[in-house]
Amino acid sequence: MIKALAVPASQNLQPLSQYLRAQKVLHRISEQGENQVVWVANPSDTALVQSSYERLRQGALDVGALRQELPPYWQTEPSSHLWQYIKAAPLVSLLVMSSALITLLNEWSGQALFMALRIGSPAYVLESGEVWRLITPIFLHFNLMHLVFNMLMLWVFGVKIELRGERLLLLSLVVGSAIFSNVAQYYVSGSGFGGMSGVVYAILAYCWLWDRLQPTRAYGFPAALMGLMMFWLALGYTDLLHWAGFGSMANTAHLSGLVFGFLFAGSVNALRGFKQP
């Protein structure tokens, strides 16, 4: 996303955010040190954000009257609101839709897609040219709960990266963690697995560590969520999740994805030459 405005953290930007939503401006607000930053997906909205803020400071931004004239944006045009996010984050949207579609088709085909997309030994897939098998297991999910959980986490944090204009970085993170976690899981359990969990753990690890390496350029990752995900990771090594209906967990993929995300964040920080503030 594009930085449109930076103001002191003491300033109440809720009226500005309400106004921007009514104007159909895709945006988010994050804290950086002692400031609040308004980010927009479309660079052409920068001038509107800045002029609206000036009107807010002067008391000329009548959000109350606007809310009386227009119902909340998400109540009037939810499909249009979603479409803005899809256009602004096409990579994450494609990953979500592909996972849902392939999972459904695999069920309808009696697991025929699984046979075509499952991983094989790295030596085989390289010799045969079927290199897609190193990646495609991430699109296969075997129950609805697993699919929904992975897609929710992918959407929430993948969009944070893509909306900042870091689509190539996100693609590299997804592809790299997919190969790394799939190969690691193959050597532990063979080819009978699937799911986006390894990639999700890599994205979470990347965002979590990046926020600590570069707090002024943070994604705003909730620290408590990492504790929850680590608990979930540990829980996967027990039989409790299997009893709860999640099926067998690809624990090695989860752990290796987490490790890859940490390594990726450290590498990006080093390659960009950032210094810790």
68-116 pLDDT, tens digit each: 433 443 343 444 456 777 777 899 999 999 999 999 998 888 778 888 8
The number of residues making up the chain comes to 277
Contact 138, 99 (CB under 8 A): yes
pLDDT surpasses 70 at 65: no
Q: What is the pLDDT of residue 94?
A: 95
State the Cα angle at 100 between 226 and 199, rounded to 5°.
Answer: 30
Catalytic residue among 80, 197, 242, 267: 197
Token reading at 160: 């944070």
- Which of 20-34, 239-253, 254-268 is modeled with the greatest confidence? 254-268
For the chain, give the percent of residues with pLDDT over 70. 86
* Class level of CATH domain 89-271: mainly alpha
Q: Find out if CATH 3.30.70 is the number for domain 2-77.
A: yes
What is the CA 25 to chain-centroid distance, rounded? 20
Mean pLDDT, range 62-66, rounded to an integer: 54
Torsion of CA 138, 144, 145, 147, to 10 degrees: 20
Say if 2-77 and 89-271 have the same CATH topology: no
Catalytic residue among 81, 254, 256, 267: 254
pLDDT surpasses 50 at 198: yes
Helix 144-162 to helix 90-108 angle (10° resolution) is 160
Q: What is the pLDDT of residue 177?
A: 96
Using a cut of 0.75, tell me whether the model's pTM lies above it.
no
Q: Where are the domains of the chain?
A: 2-77, 89-271
Q: Identify the band that residue 277 occupies on the pLDDT scale cut at 50, 70 and 90.
A: very low
Q: What is the pLDDT of residue 260?
A: 97
132-180 pLDDT, tens digit each: 999 999 999 888 888 998 999 899 889 888 887 788 999 999 999 999 9
114-137 pLDDT, tens digit each: 888 889 888 888 888 889 999 999
Does the active-site annotation cover 254?
yes
